Amino acid sequence: MNRLFVFLLLLVSLPATDAFAERPNILWIIVDDMSANFSCYGEKMIETPNVDALAKRGTMFTQAYVTAPVCSTCRSAFITGMYQTSIGAHHHRSGRGKKKIHLPKGVRPIPELFQEAGYYTSISGWPFRKGRMGKTDYNFEWNKEMYDGPDWTKRKKGQPFFAQLQTPGGKLRGATLESFEKTGKRAEALFGSRTKPKDVTLPPYYPNDPVLLKDWAAYLDTVRETDRMVGQVLAKLKADGDLDNTIVLFMTDHGISHARGKQFMYEDGLHIPLVIAGPEIGIGKTRVDLVEHIDIAAISLAAAGIAIPKSMQAKDVFAKDYQVRDAAYAARDRCDETVEHLRSVRMGNYKYIRNYLHNRPHLQPNAYKDHKAILIAIKKAGAEGRLNKVQARLLAPTRPPEELYDLEKDPFELNNLAKSNLHKRWMTTMRASLKQWETSTNDHGRKPETAEMYDSDMQVYLDTLKKRRPERLQELKTNIALMKKWAAEGK
């Protein structure tokens, strides 16, 4: 007899408050644009006592990976428990124009399943703002009524809740020197100090440029702000008497927004923090096995006693019969106007990246990103000859078709082993694994996006810029024309 059937029997036979009593609340805290730069994950520059405390009373996953290193595709995946490539939601901010994307038959957003099981479903930012819902950013058509509201405290007496808190995370630092300074001042007001740029150690693939140092310092202060917010949320749960019966899941939607982070397949883009604490969750445990971010859908359903759809690709990693994943897969496709096709697989200590459009540069033109101070600084450093051999790869006109890295020996992914004779077997194994995944999961990215869908989404983007940033309109038009030109050339 499955758990859902048992619950339905209880729901029929017991008063509402009794039927609700045994089921835990589920709370997701989802953070934008942030890697695992928390103390419990080894970050030394700052302290994050609240996330650390959450990890101590729950389970921390050290090898959690998103299946998509950009927000809308990542979110489309975790809210359905499906690879974004399997449901046609793999292009960032797609389906926004006249042409829409509909979920395949049998695939449903999990808030609908929670509602049907009697849960109050909410989505908000923090702190709660009256009547204001939180970030969704799904690439498919969905029913807004799957969320009951923005505040879980509005639920019926005794009713369990499934809630999502969406927080800006790394976006809080902005993209300009002025915004970096504002972030520092905010940190001084909140914590009595700011992270000093002179104390920052950048990854070796970035130049030791003053702009990048200020940006990274501001980013670390947004990590501190995020940790503070986690503490506030936990304090509210405790004050309301909900903490002991709430499973709290803390995760980011992808890694830091940077030249090798967000939107890319390196560790800064894919590797995320994942901490889960609450009833029936192991206390003070650290899991080192590979998990994918979509697994939070199955974990949450199982914890609530709701049947996991058989077609769901997410796995309940706490199930007694769970078999650990031997690989973690990821995909990046079009972001805004910029057409891309990247795939990766992590197995053991190795990461394999397939650059399908390898004749294009790593930093393709993109109207959203190209005005960020950090990218302007990197390009300026390149023009002035201030980049070393590794850093200069960021500005190379092309990329290798394949990349292979030994993450144990080379955590910064600097030494591409794709052509190494000593690693031929790994290359063969990982190529085959990625190919099998693309086929078995019906990777929609194997076919180029249709011109009709691209033009439909670009019209929305053009209309938006015309209203909000008219000075960038011509830049966007130029980039769109370039994407079409390169595609026609087979580049």
**Segment 196-231, tens digit of pLDDT:** 999 999 999 999 999 999 999 999 999 999 999 999
| Residue 55 tokens, joined | 């990890």
Q: How far is Cα 107 from Cα 86, in angstroms, rounded to an integer?
A: 10
> What is the predicted pLDDT for the residue at 21?
54
For residue 351, give Cα distances in angstroms to 218, 328, 429.
29, 9, 12
Counting Cα atoms < 13 Å in the Cβ hemisphere of 79 gives 30
Distance CA 251, CA 277 (A): 12
Provide mean pLDDT across the span 285-311: 98
| pLDDT value for 349 | 97
- Whose tokens are 């395949």? That residue is 104
Determine the angle formed by the axes of helices 373-383 and 210-239, rounding to 10 degrees.
160
For residue 42, the tally of other CB atoms under 10 A from its CB is 9
Residue with tokens 């390898």: 358
Question: H or E element: which one contains 252?
Answer: strand 246-252
Specify the pTM: 0.95
Yes or no: say if 405 and 415 are a contact pair by the CB < 8 Å rule.
yes
Confidence category of residue 2, pLDDT binned at 50, 70, 90: very low
Nearest to 285 by CA among 58, 54, 38: 58
Mean pLDDT across the stretch 461-467?
97
Per-residue pLDDT at 156 exceeds 70: yes
| CA dist., res. 293 & res. 62, Å (int) | 12
| Percent of the chain residues topping a pLDDT of 90 | 95
Q: Is the pLDDT of residue 190 over 60?
A: yes
Cα dihedral sign, 476-478-480-482: negative
Going by pLDDT thresholds of 50, 70 and 90, the confidence category of residue 145 is: very high
Residue 199, number of CB atoms within 10 A of its CB: 10
Instruction: Give the separation between CA 79 and CA 147, rounded to whole angstroms.
Output: 12
The strand pair at 342-347 and 328-332 is best described as antiparallel
Domains of the chain as residue ranges with CATH: 3-319 (3.40.720.10), 332-450 (3.30.1120)
Model confidence at 102, pLDDT cuts 50, 70, 90, reads very high
Return the structure tokens found at 14: 């017991």
Convert the pLDDT of each residue in 14-49 to its tens digit. 444 444 558 999 999 999 999 999 999 999 999 999
Find where tokens 């940790």 sit: 227
Could you tell me the two tokens for 486?
A: 């390169």
Residue range 288-309: mean pLDDT, rounded: 98
**Where do runs of H (alpha helix) occur along 240-364?**
267-270, 295-303
Strands 342-347 and 350-355: antiparallel
Mean pLDDT, range 272-280, rounded to an integer: 97
Range list of H helices, 26-164: 49-56, 71-78, 110-116
Query: How many angstroms separate the CA atoms of 257 and 262, rounded?
Result: 5
Give the other-Cβ count within 10 Å of 204's Cβ. 12
For residue 42, what are the contacts with CB-CB under 8 A and spacing of at least 6? none
Tokens encoding 442: 């019906």
